[in-house]
Amino acid sequence: MKPLAGKVCLVAGASRGLGRGIARALGEAGATVIVTGRSSEAGPRTDQRSETFEDTAREVELAGGKGHPYRCDHTQEREVDALVSWSLRRFGRLDCVVDAVWGGNEGYDGERYPDGSSFGTPFWRRPVARLGESFESGVYAQLLLARAVAPAMVQMRQGLIVTVSFDTSAYLGDVFYDLAKAAMNRLTLAMATELKPFGVTALGLSPGHVLTERVRDAGMADETTETPLYAGRAVAALAADADVIRHGGQVLRVADLARAYAFTDRDGTQPARFTIPS
């Protein structure tokens, strides 16, 4: 038996990047995986990229799970509520929900954002509008999804909500990125505190410098430390842990989880912790 056989998981923001790697790893573990995103074979695609959430659903199937694609803009409350309602009607439960939604880098070409600034440009030289974009696709999307799935998990007295974020114990090198991730982590702590009495766990996941499709296309592959599958196997290990609630409210590093749960990246290695250079 695979460790997540019979489990129903939802991965939001799974058209590409970390969301796709997480969905694939959950499929490896035997889960039924609902994969969502905005980039569809039948409609518009983010930044005109080629990847779609239907591709991800097929990868879940190839990995050994059951993939179910669903189009959703996670910054729209009605669409998020409709997604969760459909999932509960179709499958009767949601055991693990992963929020990998992040649109803070849309339009970034590896050097500059559409407004002309680059990652790490001093805050006094940055157009403030980008802060709103980072918060909308980060903390706001996180809250919309969590509040939609929480009632069902509270009723079941179990469930896991994972938010893909980043450890903010040190400055992350860009004012808007740092503020958005810090707010997401604080929301995770608040959710975990309020959900714990009902047996539901909320936690954050901090990966390294991940080889996503955007990073590869920006010519930064040599700077990366790991693939999206590494974070995915971390989520699969957490979802299979009967005592996962002990991690509630924490932002866990993928590298630490690899050693605790004895999993590896795609190439069989265990990349070490990544920290943003000062």
What are the residue ranges spanned by the domains of the chain?
8-261
Mean pLDDT of the residues in the chain = 94
Q: What is the pLDDT of residue 103?
A: 77
- Residue pLDDT tens, the chain, 278 long: 899 999 999 999 999 999 999 999 999 999 999 999 998 888 878 777 888 999 999 999 999 999 999 999 999 999 999 999 999 999 999 999 999 998 777 777 777 888 888 888 999 998 888 788 889 999 999 999 999 999 999 999 999 999 999 999 999 999 999 999 999 999 999 999 999 999 999 999 999 999 998 888 888 899 899 999 999 999 999 999 999 999 999 999 999 999 999 999 999 999 999 988 76
235 phi/psi in degrees, rounded to 5: -65, -45
Give the count of alpha carbons within 13 A of 19, CB side only. Answer: 31
pTM over 0.75: yes
Q: What is the pLDDT of residue 127?
A: 85
CA distance 164 to 100: 5
Q: Please give the CATH number for the structural domain made up of 8-261.
A: 3.40.50.720
Backbone angle region of 274, left / alpha / beta, with phi > 0 → left and psi within -120 to 50 → alpha: beta
- Reading the block at residue 192, the tokens are 């975990």
- Residue 252 pairs in a beta bridge with 205
Between the alpha carbon of residue 70 and those of residues 36, 100, 124, 266, the distances in Å are 5, 15, 40, 26
pLDDT at residue 28, as a whole number: 98
- Residue 114, Cα to own-chain centre: how many angstroms? 24
pLDDT at residue 198, as a whole number: 98
At residue 267's C-alpha, the angle toward residues 263 and 269, to 5°, is 50
Tokens 């994972």 label which residue? Answer: 162
pLDDT digits (tens, 9 = 90+) for 94-131: 999 999 998 777 777 777 888 888 888 999 998 888 78
Q: Check residue 74 and give its pLDDT.
A: 96
Distance CA 53, CA 134 (A): 22
So what's the pLDDT on residue 186?
98
Interatomic CA distance for residues 22 and 92, integer angstroms: 22
Looking at residue 86, its pLDDT comes to: 98
pLDDT digits (tens, 9 = 90+) for 39-75: 888 887 877 788 899 999 999 999 999 999 999 999 9
